[in-house]
Amino acid sequence: MADPSSHPVPGVVRHIVRARSRDLGGFEVRRVFPSADCRTVGPYVFFDQIGPSTFPAGAGVDVRPHPHIGLATLTYLFDGEILHRDSLGSEQVIRPGAVNWMVAGRGIVHSQRTPDAVRQAAAPLFGVQVWIALPRADEETQPAFLHHAAGELPHVEGPGYRIRLIAGGAFGHTGPVPVFSPTLLFEAEVSAGASVTVPPDYAERAVHVAAGAAAVAGQAVAAGSMAILAPGQPVAVRATADSRLVVLGGAPLDGPRHVWWNLVSSRRERIEQAKTDWREGRFPPVPGETESIPLPDRPGP
């Protein structure tokens, strides 16, 4: 494993993807991919940065129940709280540094809302949500939900940086999330002037600057942007301001994936079936929820 503070190697940034703002019904996210510049990174087919934003008292996130198939979602917060409910009966508040891991498999429904207690005062929200396409052999697996508290995540510290490993192996540690294929995900808080290194162990890798600014192999990357890396060598990332980074990667997908709204599959006909199932009320309900998001006429960009 590469040491997390080794030196820059130039010429390894393939391109930089700049996030687009999206309104998800009362709160804004920065969507990095899928986009024209980047469809996937390893098994990741979707990357949203949530915030940073502050809700006034009485307001918050209200993502009504909606379906997923063929993927696993991972929610990780830097600040704030979100209440997760799903059709398995799971009910879990996610707080900074913890991980919500939801395997949709053959089909699951969930909602995400700001807890009532948090709405009593102005409240921040900042984090990321990613979707990981399941291998074709696992697309119809049994749905599942797991929560890992912040204390379960291994961490690595060095001069001016602290890394929290969420999934995959790096720096001699393995994250707690039970992934289905080679997958890497870690957060790094890096002080201005300090450096960390993305290890070369995964075929596809990217560095997202959630806050601050960084030079990735010497190339400037602003907050809200992601550097897509070439394979094969360690890549140094130097913070040019106090920064929060998210590093992701993994093995390439075992074939193309179709993404329509919240549905992911290697087969178009499976997505069509899921669309019909949602429209006709065949997905299981979320206990405690009375609303749902109707099937759109077309998916958003």
* pLDDT, tens digit (0-9, with 9 covering 90-100), for 125-158: 999 999 999 999 999 999 999 999 999 999 999 9
Give the pLDDT band (50/70/90) at residue 24.
low
Q: What average pLDDT score do residues 166-186 get?
A: 97
User: pTM here?
Assistant: 0.94
Pairing of strands 20-23, 82-86: unpaired
Query: Residue 239: pLDDT above 70?
Result: yes
Burial classification of residue 92, based on how many CB atoms lie within 10 Å of its CB (0-12 exposed, 13-18 middle, 19 or more buried): middle
